[in-house]
């Protein structure tokens, strides 16, 4: 983990409001917001104190405001599509939600000594939430910031308006053509990277999109950092539900935890085609007669 030590607090719901097809939840969570960096996430308990839903739900932090009137707030964006997120969709201001955070390893920013880099941020759906704060920090470092946001339809886009204040360019794609160019984010990446002279790519969204963005970045000679969307039940590296195969600097594949070693990984180190499996040759994988 990076940044400050995670804390567990009984947070108070400040607001719950619709944002397009999603919901934005702001929690008064003193101590959690203090060390949040773009790419960090929080793990929320769902269902209430008598719930049988024991596993937490993890969400990237959209905005964090340390101190201030409420003593620190964090904001997450989600879509209610399961029992846990449907419960969250029913909370009201003043309700309590147990929160652990900030968790995980955030995006790495270009070294200040390397000068202003040309960066491309790519987000899919509400996965774009952490990219707004990232764009702000990159702009503060005088980096060029190009942004590509995509979704199935206009209502499922997120962050288009917010990110414009920091970006040199913003490109939008929707699969149904209801906003921006019809198609997927990868359709426009080559042109955007060529125009911007992209050196670093940051991406957050569905796993298939991250694999495709990594491939496009590699072809363009850029390095991609990808925030994966694995289900992270505990968020602190205990349950091992979020492991995926990643190639280390030594060339060896290991099953690593998204919640503690990630969720941000170098895209070219993730074995995207093998996610959900323990590929042959992985360190510790079972082989005939024992383990590697």
Please state, in angstroms and as integers, the Cα–Cα distance from residue 153 to each residue in 61, 87, 131, following that order: 23, 25, 19
Is 259 annotated to bind a ligand? Reply is: yes
- Which single residue is written with the structure tokens 């499996």? 277
- Which single residue is written with the structure tokens 């993890």? 58
Is 68 annotated to bind a ligand? Reply is: no
CA 182 – CA 46 distance, rounded (Å): 37
Kindly give the residue spans of alpha helices, DSSP state H, lying in 66-115: 83-88
Is 59 annotated to bind a ligand? Reply is: yes
SS3 220: coil
Residue 92 in tokens: 């009201």
Is 198 annotated to bind a ligand? Reply is: no
Residue 189 in tokens: 């990446």
Is 51 annotated to bind a ligand? Reply is: no
Is 119 annotated to bind a ligand? Reply is: no
Is 60 annotated to bind a ligand? Reply is: yes
**Number of C-beta neighbours around residue 116 at 10 A:** 14
Is 57 annotated to bind a ligand? Reply is: yes
Dihedral sign for Cα 188, 135, 264, 194, please.
positive
Does residue 258 contact residue 244 with C-beta atoms inside 8 Å?
A: yes
Is 258 annotated to bind a ligand? Reply is: no
Q: What is the CA radius of gyration of the chain?
A: 19
C-alpha angle 236/33/50, rounded to 5°? 55
Is 58 annotated to bind a ligand? Reply is: yes
Binding residues: 57-60, 84-85, 234, 239, 242, 259
Binding residues for FAD: 57-60, 84-85
Binding residues for [2Fe-2S] cluster: 234, 239, 242, 259
């Amino acid at each position: 983990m990076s940044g400050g030590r995670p804390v567990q607090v009984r947070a108070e719901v400040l607001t719950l409001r619709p944002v397009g097809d999603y919901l934005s939840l702001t929690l008064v969570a003193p101590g959690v917001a203090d060390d949040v960096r773009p790419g960090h996430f929080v793990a929320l308990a769902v269902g209430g104190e008598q719930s049988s839903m024991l596993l937490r739900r993890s969400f990237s932090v959209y905005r964090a405001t340390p101190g201030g009137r409420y003593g620190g707030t964090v904001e997450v964006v989600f879509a209610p599509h399961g029992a846990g997120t449907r419960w969250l969709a029913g909370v009201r201001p003043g309700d309590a939600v147990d929160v652990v955070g900030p968790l995980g390893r955030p995006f790495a920013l270009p070294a200040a000594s390397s000068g202003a880099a040309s960066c491309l941020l790519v987000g899919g759906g509400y996965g774009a939430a952490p990219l707004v704060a990232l764009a702000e920090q990159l702009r503060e470092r005088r980096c060029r910031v190009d942004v590509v946001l995509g979704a199935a339809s206009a209502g499922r886009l997120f962050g288009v308006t917010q990110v414009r204040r920091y970006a040199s360019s913003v490109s939008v794609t929707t699969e149904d053509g209801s906003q921006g160019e019809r198609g997927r984010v990868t359709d426009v990446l080559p042109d955007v990277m060529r125009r911007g002279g992209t050196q670093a790519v940051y991406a957050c969204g569905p796993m298939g999109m991250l694999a495709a963005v990594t491939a496009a970045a590699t072809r363009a000679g850029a390095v991609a950092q990808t925030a994966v969307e694995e289900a992270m039940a505990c968020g602190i590296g205990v349950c091992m539900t979020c492991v995926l195969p990643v190639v280390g600097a030594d060339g060896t594949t290991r099953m690593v935890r998204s919640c503690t070693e990630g969720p941000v990984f170098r895209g070219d180190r993730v074995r995207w085609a093998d996610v959900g499996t323990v590929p042959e040759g992985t360190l510790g994988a079972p082989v005939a007669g024992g383990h590697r």
